[in-house]
Amino acid sequence: MPDQDLIYDWNEAGERWEKPPFRVQLSDETLRDGLQSPALRSPSLEERIGILHGMSRLGIDAADIGLPGAGAHVARDAERLAQEIRDAGLAIRPSCAARTLREDIAPIVEISQRVGIAIEVCAFVGSSPIRQFAEGWTVEQMRRHTEDAVRFAAAHGLAVTYVTEDTVRARPESLRELFRAAIDSGAGRLCLCDTVGHATPTGAANLVRFALEVVRESGTDVALDWHGHSDRGLAVANSLSAIRAGASRVHGCALGIGERVGNTAMDQLLVNLRLLGWIENDLSSLEEYCRAVSDAAGVPIPSNYPVVGRDAFRTGTSMHASAMVKALRRGEAWLVDRVYSGVPSNLVGRRQEVEIGPSSGASNAIWWLESHGLASTPERAQALVQRARSADRVLTEAEIRATLASLDETSGS
């Protein structure tokens, strides 16, 4: 029976999220913006290279490999990462961050020339009135810096994305002036930033539509990026809303790492885009990518974290296990993977797991025994359930096997 006959999808029943008329692209900020969290440790260069390979396996389009203007050590690491992309033939485009200053962009030009591959320049400037007031900037000063920086990068043959920090709290008249200055100076993309996690999905869409209006007025073919943060817990929803409104590339970091509470979670973004049918990326290595970042940056993955958390496809509940066992008996793998899961585990290279704990019943024991290639009898299932009900957590494999061994010894089998 087709799964659409068994799942009534209210996501499709009225207002629908249509597939965008453009290819949705992804830019990974894990190795630059993501590492700005004060709680993280800085991954070694070899660990960063491994993470870069993980991004490429997931089909991520671009990766920020550093801000070379921050110092010689950052420039050295960025060059090594660019070399890896070149030498390993990774299907990912490198970008580097820079302030809208020539001295920040010059090292990117030099790295690009030495390595022999194009590196996108992401030139940023604070755009909101609160930033202008704190920094003592005027819009005129920002416009002049914008024009000089973008022209300098473009003159050296590098693609430029013009990044306005705190875009979601900036005045439209200021943005219009800065956007036009960047476009007229040679920027190929504008990046709209929710730097402090202020936006709602409606706000994200409003901003994207405004920026598209400015682009149309310019008569150019400039594309839009969306860069979000998670301070209100809306980063993934905001990114999807920005895409619906016309942003063709969105940014994220593995596990949502980054300053304060972090950036848009790239892993969650990938899963949602795939489930929506907006991308076709192979996500079978998603857990590997997240684990690599977790280990390298010292970020533990909560057990209840979506999709890659330990409990994402794991249950110890009797009712859930019973439904899954019944689905299993029907011989329908897709049914097992969906009867109690909104995300199919096989989409991300995982599988459904059933544990035996205080809330478990015979179905939990039956699943566990059969999935471990062990004989499943009513006596064995009952013994495991009784053992679990005296515990305050799910049983470990060692405890389960010890219970079975004790039962077998008692029964003389």
Task: Please check whether residue 378 is in contact with residue 407, taking contact to mean a CB–CB distance below 8 angstroms.
Answer: no
Percentage of the chain exceeding pLDDT 70: 99
By three-state DSSP, how is residue 59 classified? coil
Give the pLDDT score at 225: 98
Give the pLDDT score at 248: 98
Burial of 410 by CB count in 10 Å (0-12 exposed, 13-18 middle, 19+ buried)? exposed
Instruction: Tell me the mean pLDDT in the region 16-24.
Output: 95
- pLDDT tens-digit readout, 102-161: 999 999 999 999 999 999 999 999 999 999 999 999 999 999 999 999 999 999 999 999
Taking the C-alpha atoms of residue 288 and residue 293, their distance in angstroms, rounded to an integer, is 9
Give the pLDDT score at 3: 61
List the chain domain ranges: 25-297, 314-411
Residue 1 has pLDDT above 80, yes or no: no
Dihedral, 361, 363, 366, 369 alpha carbons, nearest 10: -70
Q: Are strands 93-99 and 189-194 parallel, antiparallel or unpaired?
A: unpaired
- pLDDT tens-digit readout, 256-302: 999 999 999 999 999 999 999 999 999 999 999 999 999 999 999 99
Reported as type and span, the H/E element at residue 223 is strand 223-228
Percentage of the chain exceeding pLDDT 90: 93
Q: First and final CA of the chain: distance in angstroms?
A: 42
Instruction: Tell me the mean pLDDT in the region 167-192.
Output: 98
Give the pLDDT score at 4: 62
- pLDDT tens-digit readout, 299-348: 999 999 999 999 999 999 999 999 999 998 888 889 999 999 999 999 99
CATH class of the domain defined by 25-297: alpha beta
